[in-house]
Amino acid sequence: MRPFLFSLSTLARPPQGGAAPPTRPAGAIAGKSNVKTQLLKGSPLDGRNYKVHLDGYDQTALITGQGPSVRHEVFYFAQRTLGAVRVDDWKYTFLSQPRGWIGPVLRPNMPILTNLRMDPYERMGWPNNGFAEGSIAHGDSFKHETWRFQLVAKVIGENIPSFIAYPPMQEGAGCSTGDLKEKVEAAIAASKAQGD
C-alpha cells in the first residue's frame, strides 16, 4: 500500500474498520443529498454558473480495509495547464516550477518520466550543474521506459472531455499587454452599459 494512501485510510477509517455509520444518506455532503448532482450541473452564485470538476472515485473498499484503491491516476494542474500526470507508480511531468509558484515555468521538450517507487523525492532526474544534481543513470533507465508515453497519452485522452466541461481551475491573472488591454476594454464596455 502506498504511504500516502495508508495515512488517508488510517485517518478516514470508521471505528473498528466497519462501514461508515448510517447517520446521513449515501452521497450526502453537508446535509444535502443532491450535492453531487448540483455540482455536476453547476450552481449559480452572484449571477454566474459555477461547475466543479469531480475527479473522485468510490474508495469505500480502501477506507473499510476490504480492498485496494480504485484510483490509478492523479492529474496535476498549474491553473488550467496540465503540469503532470501520475499513473500508478509513474509520474509524467510536462512542466515544472523549480523555484515555486513565483519562479519561472520550465517546459521540457519531452515529459520527464519518474518512477516514484524508486525516486519518491523526484531528485534523480537529468544531470544538471555537471553531476551535482540529478543522475547519469537516469538517461540509461529512461531509454528503456519511453514506451510508457503511450499509456499516459491514453489516460489523458480519456479525460480531456471532462477537463473541457469542468475546467480544473479558473484562468490566472496576467499582466501582459494583451491581458491589460482586454481588461480595460471590458471595464469601458461595462461602464458604457451602466450609462456612466
**Are the CB atoms for 89 and 117 separated by under 8 Å?**
yes
171 or 66: which carries more pLDDT confidence? 66
Q: Report the predicted TM-score, pTM, of the whole model to 2 decimal places.
A: 0.63
pLDDT digits (tens, 9 = 90+) for 138-182: 777 778 888 888 999 999 999 888 888 777 776 666 666 767 777
Inform me whether the pLDDT recorded for 9 exceeds 50.
Answer: no
Q: How far apart are the first and last CA of the chain?
A: 63
Domains of the chain by range and CATH? 1-70 (no CATH), 72-196 (3.30.1120)
pLDDT of residue 26: 45
